[in-house]
Structure 1
Amino acid sequence: MTGRPAGRVTDGFRLAVTTLTVLPVRGGRVDRSVAAVAMGVAPLVGALLGLVLAGLSEGLGALGAPGLVAGAVTVAAGALLTRGLHLDGLADTVDALGSYRSGPAALEIMKKPDIGPFGVVALAATVLVQAASIAAVPWWAIVMAWTTGRLAISLACRRGVPPARPEGLGAMVASTVPSPVVVLAAILVAAAAVPAIPGRPWQGPLAVIVALGAVLLLLRHCVRRLGGITGDVLGGCAELATTLTLLTLTLS
């Protein structure tokens, strides 16, 4: 009996890494209790991604790469490390919401393999803003942006947020993370963001609050229009939070 909770935590970490990154970690048991752990520790996976990307950005800068070039390469590396799933989810979510359809009709648009004009614009704007922002912020701000982006996934999977479909990733992880866990994670991330911008200790926590507030609005809209969350919505939430965190941290 004592080994079961530890095994669930280990399997949860594995599921989080395999779901949110390309790292070839051997999978374990997968059920809703494991999914709860995985979605709860998503910010930790985001922090690891952020550290890798911040190191890449700093390394390129040390080699003399222009800021925007270093930012663009860093964003591309972030997409590769996550299989581009979050960007794809953002495009599909924006296409579905931009269609002004609801329920099954909107979900059908999300399932299509092509990307519509709304999705293209969302992808282009997101990549551009992220690349330009990375060029303008310190390395810890990059770490905090990717951490907040994955905190948005925990927020989207909190108890009370339903799945839009009875199957798929959304159904597996929806309503699995207890709200106190999300609140605690948000407090810890906001506290860790204090040194993101030297000389302005308020700006890091503010960026986290702004990003999570926007995610809450997106989730409310998705529940109303789609009926709940899907895997694509989770990706959209992650990219929205990452982008808004970076953008807020660039403001003086």
Structure 2
Amino acid sequence: MIKKIAAAFEFLTIIPLPLPKADAPVWDESSIGKSSSVFPIVGLIIGGAYLLCFIVLRHVLPASVCAVVVITLGAVITGGLHLDGVSDTFDALAAKRTPAERLSIMKSGSAGPIGVAAVVLTLLMKYALVKELLSNAHISSAFILLTYPAAGRFAATAAMFTGKSAKPEGLGWVFIEHTGVKEFMAASGFSFIILTVLNIYLNNGGGALCASFHSIAIIILITLAARISGAFFLRRFGGLTGDTIGAFIEGSELMFLLYSTIITGGAVCQRGFI
């Protein structure tokens, strides 16, 4: 388990760990790829960093500033790779080219106006949703900060399980190739436990049955979105790449935050989200 978390941590963040790197002799492609089963746990750890930051700042700064700091911290932890994926993916999608030419545009590294606009809109939407939820008395701020990055990383596993790699090489291909039913079910189980337990513990008033229902709903929604996105990227690029997976992580975080906002607005389960 620790080995899988270490491999997943290296893939999803830029934080160095005192453990062998993914290219060390102790690793093999199967071990690296199958670490997608613990992606939600890595997301929970990232959420713990968000929560710690919020606890330190909430007594001296308004929710709006705390939201900006949390989102900035997320970009730092990931090295901005997911946002770069948003930019590259939308730049490539905007080009009226063949799938192979779109892949070349995606790998170019330059940011065009469509890509920049996509990143700005992603950040604005995330800021608005995080700020709203941190200010909402009907839902625990700790729950939101811990779970939305976990949901986003589960989305990566779902995309790898339901999608196809655009090229038979690279780290993205290794994960997609070795993310099977077992890895997807494990990631789904971890996500269910994280969402349900934290909701029951942190959102007082929500029952176990209601919590379980909404956890399952989120897992299903993200998986369906992964399947639809995978089919879309298959037509546009010939499959998934690291950039499209990064973009899907960002999109799934927004999906989770939007779902949470809608549910709390409806006062479901007495107090907040679930």
Instruction: Return the TM-score normalized by structure 1.
Output: 0.86
Alignment check: 8 A CA contact 2:34 2:179 kept? yes
**Which one of the candidate residues 128, 140, 143 is aligned to 2:143?**
140
CA–CA distance in structure 2, aligned partners of residues 61 and 178 of structure 1: 41
Name the SS of the counterpart of 1:165 in structure 2. coil
Describe the superposition over 1:221-251 as per-residue Cα deviations: whole angstroms up to 9, x where unpaired: 1122211111111211111111111121112
Matched, 1:245 2:256: yes
Alignment check: 8 A CA contact 2:82 2:249 kept? yes
Matched, 1:112 2:115: no
Of stretches 173-182 and 192-201 in structure 1, the one that deviates more from structure 2 is: 192-201
Alignment check: 8 A CA contact 2:57 2:66 kept? yes
Structure 1 segment 170-189 matched on structure 2, within 5 A: 170-189=172-191
Of stretches 190-199 and 214-223 in structure 1, the one that deviates more from structure 2 is: 190-199
Matched, 1:165 2:176: no
- Unaligned residue ranges in structure 1 (runs of 5+): 1-8
Describe the superposition over 1:95-135 as per-residue Cα deviations: whole angstroms up to 9, x where unpaired: 21222433211101101121122211221111112222222
Q: How far is 1:207 from its partner?
A: 4.0
1:59 is matched with 56
Name the SS of the counterpart of 2:70 in structure 1. helix
Matched, 1:232 2:251: no
CA–CA distance in structure 1, aligned partners of residues 52 and 116 of structure 2: 29
2:45 is matched with 48
Q: How far is 1:49 from its partner?
A: 0.2
Query: CA RMSD for the aligned pairs?
Result: 2.2
Matched, 1:190 2:201: no
Structure 1 residue ranges, 4+ long, deviating more than 6 angstroms after superposition: none
Structure 1 segment 18-97 matched on structure 2, within 5 A: 18-25=10-17, 26=19, 27=21, 28=24, 29-63=26-60, 65-97=61-93
CA–CA distance in structure 2, aligned partners of residues 232 and 94 of structure 1: 10
Alignment check: 8 A CA contact 2:37 2:186 kept? no
Structure 1 segment 196-235 matched on structure 2, within 5 A: 199=205, 201=211, 203=214, 205-235=216-246
CA–CA distance in structure 2, aligned partners of residues 135 and 197 of structure 1: 18
Alignment check: 8 A CA contact 1:149 1:238 kept? yes
The verdict on how the C-alpha distance between 1:57 and 1:143 changes in structure 2, with shifts beyond 3 A counting, is same
1:4 is matched with none
- Unaligned residue ranges in structure 2 (runs of 5+): 134-140, 266-274
CA–CA distance in structure 2, aligned partners of residues 144 and 210 of structure 1: 15
CA–CA distance in structure 2, aligned partners of residues 199 and 122 of structure 1: 38
Q: How far is 1:67 from its partner?
A: 1.3
Q: How many residues align?
A: 242
The verdict on how the C-alpha distance between 1:15 and 1:66 changes in structure 2, with shifts beyond 3 A counting, is same
Instruction: Return the TM-score normalized by structure 2.
Output: 0.80
CA–CA distance in structure 1, aligned partners of residues 96 and 51 of structure 2: 38
CA–CA distance in structure 2, aligned partners of residues 145 and 209 of structure 1: 15
The verdict on how the C-alpha distance between 1:180 and 1:15 changes in structure 2, with shifts beyond 3 A counting, is closer
Describe the superposition over 1:183-234 as per-residue Cα deviations: whole angstroms up to 9, x where unpaired: 3422442353241765564555544443343232212111222111111112
Q: How far is 1:163 from its partner?
A: 1.6
Letter in 1 for 2:131: A
Letter in 2 for 1:50: G
Name the SS of the counterpart of 1:229 in structure 2. coil
